[in-house]
Amino acid sequence: MSIYQRCVYPIALVTLGFTTSLYAQVSTINSAVYTPRQFNDIPGATLTVVSNYPSLISFEEQNVSQSTGFANRDSWHFSSDSGATPFLFGNNDAFTITMDVTLTADPISPRKEAGFVFNNPLNDGGEFIVNTDGHEFVAFGGFLPFYNSHLNFNSGDTVTMGLTIFKDSSGKNAIIYFARTATACVESAALEFSNVELGVIDGTSIGGYLQIVNSPTVATNSGTVVFQNIQIGAPDQDFDGVPDSSDDCPNTPPCSLVNASGCSIDQLAPCDGPASGGAWRNHGQYVSAVARAVNEFLAQGVIDQTQADAMLSAAGQSPCGSKR
Ligand SMILES: [Ca+2]
Ligand SMILES: [Ca+2]
């Protein structure tokens, strides 16, 4: 166990206070198990692994080139026994995973891809990845509902990828995919599982991987992935960092700044009228509500004075609450 893990673990325990029994099992995850060369079609390539879960895992494959062969793939999976064996997820588990992914390729084609991977004994898992030649964020394969974020990925970008698996209001297992680049942020709808098992197949392991397709012609064909800030916790459907069980404002728009209760300023002071219902009496009442929220965010350290000034100015110039 690294020093970082020793520091973080007690904090993680504190945050588990209001979680469900379904999450209790996933909360035992404390490490990763590594499977270098899950595919080893180009055995002469050079692999470098950095294994420092949860702060940093990286795989680097250099000189992935021989006359025939498909690809090399290196993977890691969550573990609850200090990396001895993969943690086996079940059909009833509910959780959110997020991680920062930096995939760098030289050249970008043939394809390098990296992201989430699901594996199980039925060989029916799935992947949620970025790739260097298609420039995609895409989920496909196995039991995973298909998703293409339409965000653009370029080699070398650091992006945040996330997924939440939970039971929806119909009691069915569903997944929400999340992706963030330097300039954009998206979430999928809640997509219900449609496989026979209606969700994660019992015994599935989950983690991340790098895959480099062989180049018979480019001797230096190489790629690197760095996974950082790997987090698994209780379901957080709107990915604002506040678990559903303690989030006062569901469905916060992707990548909004939120307070400790999971509410954005727009949710606390909506343009259309008070969060409690009805209409603003006038523009001044709206601006006052924004100012209260902005001051709370300042006090909590969510925003700085420059951001606060910009938000107050925008509220003042908005038509919100004005008679029309
Ligand atoms: Ca939340
Ligand atoms: Ca929220």
Mean pLDDT of 81-106: 97
Nearest ligand atom owner, CA of 238: 1
The fold for domain 3-233 equals Jelly Rolls (2.60.120)
Q: What pLDDT shows up at residue 23?
A: 75
Mean pLDDT of 300-311: 96
Q: How far is the CA of 27 from the centre of ligand 1 (A)?
A: 18
Q: How far is the CA of 299 from the centre of ligand 1 (A)?
A: 20
Instruction: For 18-66, write each residue's pLDDT tens digit.
Output: 444 567 789 999 999 999 999 999 999 999 999 999 999 999 999 999 9
Instruction: For 261-289, write each residue's pLDDT tens digit.
Output: 999 999 999 999 999 999 999 999 999 99
Instruction: For 199-237, write each residue's pLDDT tens digit.
Output: 999 999 999 999 999 999 999 999 999 999 999 999 999
E-strand spans in the chain? 31-40, 46-52, 56-62, 71-79, 95-106, 112-119, 126-131, 137-140, 147-148, 158-167, 173-180, 185-187, 191-192, 205-213, 222-233
Q: How far is the CA of 10 from the centre of ligand 1 (A)?
A: 22
Whether the Cβ atoms of residue 64 and residue 74 lie closer than 8 Å to each other: no
Q: What pLDDT shows up at residue 22?
A: 66
Residue 69 to residue 184: CA distance in whole angstroms? 37
Residue 300: pLDDT above 90?
yes
Q: What pLDDT shows up at residue 229?
A: 98
Rounded to two decimals, what is the model's pTM? 0.89
Q: For the chain, give every domain's residue range.
A: 3-233, 264-317
Residue 68: pLDDT above 90?
yes
Instruction: For 164-197, write each residue's pLDDT tens digit.
Output: 999 999 999 999 999 999 999 999 999 999 999 9
Strands 185-187 and 191-192, by their bridges, are unpaired
**CB contact set of 150 (below 8 Å; sequence gap of 6+):** 186
Q: How far is the CA of 109 from the centre of ligand 2 (A)?
A: 39
